[in-house]
Structure 1
């Protein structure tokens, strides 16, 4: 059938029936279910993996797909210059167990989707993410928890079209959405998109963490300087909409931010919207944020070259 997945039929692992007493299984430790050679066990009866109760099959598949979480598609961690996207990363290898047979596919497809980092390292594919997601079943879209895509100016322009959902796809419920700067000989002019990004952040739903990765790309004005300006505009816009706008317009989501100097990335973590308070109390609440931003700006913009300070 056109479009149907191809299955490679292989024999599933079989367990001697006497070594798998289902009533005594401790599901917290599936290692106990794996039989060890025992010369005393003499039985010609075998039970196929697919004949096991669904709950046990799912427990086993959880162990199969647990390691998928460990590889997020990045490499060169703890190395100067920051993490970079692994161009050879593909999710195909992490879905291989599903190709065993149809039953395992149906048992494990949502689990594999939930545990695997979806990474789009092609600019062309990143332009068509909503269309590509549309071919999936809605439950599979809802199971995706981590999504990474590489971006240039075209993708940053499209952020303002998302509305309140990532990519404009309301079924997505992401734990982490990562935007990776495309690495090439061209420069990124990220300051052109700061205002539209702040507007997006005030209403973006269904994303717990939004991460931006430098990826050793060429950024005019530096990546951290852009981060500082983004944070500054978040604070400025929030104050304006609370106390200069009539009526006050509060954000739907408040974000906590942090910069990772080693990875050369920064993270925005979604929090509940801040309640309305008097302006004086509000200024006291955000004072620590303003001080932290001031220190970050001073660190970023300080030039250690003495010629920058002696007129040379």
Structure 2
């Protein structure tokens, strides 16, 4: 971030700190409506907004050092930060921030190809393996290159990650016009099917049982070409019959989604739950 200016006399700067912060809350509220994504006017699909820059949304902090100190935490909590380069590192970018600023960040998006997905499945417990990162929204945007994305190669790793991923409230994966081998919707069905299959196996076919630490509510937006996972509390311990009754609605919904997909010759895109 550019160097802040020295504070000069101003009516705003003479106000009590809590009043200044309340005003800055209002100033940065507009950032909540800027996600770094845009909708295609004709298809309605989501795509990365190449013109978006988090720096543009933080310009008010450059007014002076006092405004920067007062409003920094507020601004970082309301601003979406996007890594559009495949060669950048979000942990490296975050490392230049103060600890309190890192803890304030709530929305991060990054463009991904196979390298980013390999890194993602190795996070294990926290986003970017950083315990002090607590996100309301994590967005993974597929890179729209001429190469195919083989997302099926990462399905089992993503499922394992999700079972114990803390400090993330919602995960979005955006197709972004990328070419996905086997189709993006088919991969979504494969992912959800494996989530349910692994969950059942870990609960009732393993000794001792290994229930999930985090459960997820899933949805797919056909128009936007995106999927959403919302973190939920883990399911309680229960007998298998009760578990099967509880899982029947999402299982039936998943079966309908699978049946609506066209048959795909790629065998990696086909999977039965039981």
Q: Above 0.5 in TM-score?
A: yes
Give secondary structure in 2 for the equivalent of 1:176.
strand
Matched, 1:271 2:232: yes
Q: 1:6 aligns with which of 3, 8, 11?
A: 3
1:186 — aligned with what? 147
What is the rounded CA distance, in whole Å, between the counterparts of 1:94 and 1:149 in structure 2?
Answer: 18
Larger relative contact order, structure 1 or 2 (CA cutoff 8 Å, min sep 6) = 2
Give secondary structure in 1 for the equivalent of 2:238.
coil
Matched, 1:161 2:122: yes
What is the rounded CA distance, in whole Å, between the counterparts of 1:63 and 1:275 in structure 2?
Answer: 41
Cα displacement (A) at 1:81: 5.7
Matched, 1:208 2:169: yes
Give secondary structure in 1 for the equivalent of 2:137.
strand
Matched, 1:286 2:237: no
Query: How many residue pairs end up in the alignment?
Result: 264
Listed as ranges, the gaps of 5+ residues in structure 2 are 265-274
Cα displacement (A) at 1:302: 6.2
Rate the CA distance shift 1:79–1:208 in 2: closer, same or farther, 3 A: farther
What is the rounded CA distance, in whole Å, between the counterparts of 2:260 and 2:95 in structure 1?
Answer: 45
Cα displacement (A) at 1:295: 0.5
Rate the CA distance shift 1:255–1:5 in 2: closer, same or farther, 3 A: same
- Mapping 1:90-109, distance limit 5 Å: 90-109=53-72
Matched, 1:228 2:171: no
Cα deviation, 1:58-95, whole Å, max 9, x if unaligned, reads 11111111101111011125641611001121111111
TM-score by length of 1: 0.81
Give secondary structure in 2 for the equivalent of 1:195.
helix
Cα displacement (A) at 1:133: 1.2
Matched, 1:245 2:242: no
1:71 — aligned with what? 34
1:78/1:262 contact within 8 Å kept: no
Cα displacement (A) at 1:10: 8.0
Cα displacement (A) at 1:298: 1.2
2:271 — aligned with what? none
What is the rounded CA distance, in whole Å, between the counterparts of 2:42 and 2:209 in structure 1?
Answer: 46
Matched, 1:111 2:74: yes
Rate the CA distance shift 1:219–1:149 in 2: closer, same or farther, 3 A: same
Cα displacement (A) at 1:160: 2.4
TM-score by length of 2: 0.92
Matched, 1:60 2:57: no
Rate the CA distance shift 1:203–1:78 in 2: closer, same or farther, 3 A: farther
What is the rounded CA distance, in whole Å, between the counterparts of 1:254 and 1:77 in structure 2?
Answer: 32
Give secondary structure in 1 for the equivalent of 2:58.
helix
Rate the CA distance shift 1:244–1:263 in 2: closer, same or farther, 3 A: same
Listed as ranges, the gaps of 5+ residues in structure 1 are 15-47, 304-312
Structure possessing the higher radius of gyration over alpha carbons: 1
1:50 — aligned with what? 13
